[in-house]
Amino acid sequence: MQAKNPTAKSKVGSLEKALQVLECFTTQQPELGITEISKMLGMHKSSVHNIVSTFVEKGYMEQDQVTRKYHLGLSLLRLADIVRAGLSLRQVALPIMHKAKEIYNETVHLAIEQDGLVVYLESVQPTDRSVARLAVGKRAQMHCTGVGKAILAYLPDERVKAIIEKHGLNRYTDHTITSETELMRELKRTRQRGFAIDNMEHELGIRCYAVPIRDEHGNVQASISVSGPAERLPVADAEIKAEPLIMMGMDISRKLGWQGY
């Protein structure tokens, strides 16, 4: 019989209370005090104060210096922007992802960068595959994935170094790049050829080509890839085989408002 974990239960309960505090704020009540929130939720004022103080520290709430009441902060707006961008990106990219699936007959992934990791937003799977390789919602390190390197290649060097410092360069296979110097050389090669290659660096036997996706300002925060068995996506003629994917990445970028060539 598995032992219960009261600590986990306590953490979930604390999270639920914190979310309840956030949900007290509405367009009709955009500003609330500790006592008001306490009465609304039937919670002790000390508990409400602790939750609100944490939200203020992280930027999810702010206190009005005149009324001393609290309102939602800019960090929530940043998260809302990520959600909106993701929805718009999916809507634009999905038809093109299906086209890529038809051309390559391989799995197609769409990913964005968040907090120095890639988050898979969407995957399109060929119908004849016996094993589905679904990754939606999963996170992965950037240095060892095609979608990650396609984004890293266009970030400022300082940002790349900060990501390395935060997440490291973990080894997943014998092919994984674990040297910062070698990674920077690989990112330069990625920019020169216009696409990234995951050469079995995250999973043995799996190779992928990936291309950047630009927003309306020309910034690269997303990418699209085709992924499959290494023998079907060779390195030798990768530049020829990746040409359709490069064009599709540019097509998505233009549909998102990018005016580049």
Per-residue confidence (pLDDT) for residue 134, from 0 to 100: 58
Is 145 in the same domain as 237? yes
* Number of structural domains in the chain: 2
At a CB cut-off of 8 Å and minimum separation 6, what does 8 contact? Answer: none
Distance CA 83, CA 27 (A): 20
Q: What CATH number is attached to the domain comprising 35?
A: 1.10.10.10
Is 200 in the same domain as 173? yes
Per-residue confidence (pLDDT) for residue 95, from 0 to 100: 95
* 139-140, strands of its sheet edge to edge: 139-140, 117-124, 107-114, 220-229, 206-214, 196-199
Is 110 in the same domain as 142? yes
Distance CA 223, CA 160 (A): 16
Instruction: State how beta strands 70-72 and 61-63 pair.
Output: antiparallel
Distance CA 78, CA 43 (A): 28
Q: What is the pLDDT along the chain (261 residues), one digit of tens a residue?
A: 444 454 444 456 788 899 999 999 988 889 999 999 999 999 999 999 999 999 999 999 999 999 999 999 888 877 776 666 665 888 899 999 999 999 999 999 999 999 999 999 999 988 866 444 557 778 999 999 999 999 999 999 999 999 999 999 999 999 999 999 999 999 999 999 999 999 999 999 999 999 999 988 899 989 999 999 999 999 998 999 999 999 999 999 998 888 876
Range of the domain at 44: 6-72
Is 52 in the same domain as 173? no
Q: Is 142 within the bounds of a domain?
A: yes
Is 14 in the same domain as 112? no
Counting Cβ atoms within 10 Å, is residue 152 exposed (0-12), middle (13-18) or buried (19+)?
A: buried
Q: Is 49 within the bounds of a domain?
A: yes
At a CB cut-off of 8 Å and minimum separation 6, what does 12 contact? Answer: none
Distance CA 154, CA 151 (A): 6
**CB–CB of 60/22 below 8 Å?**
yes
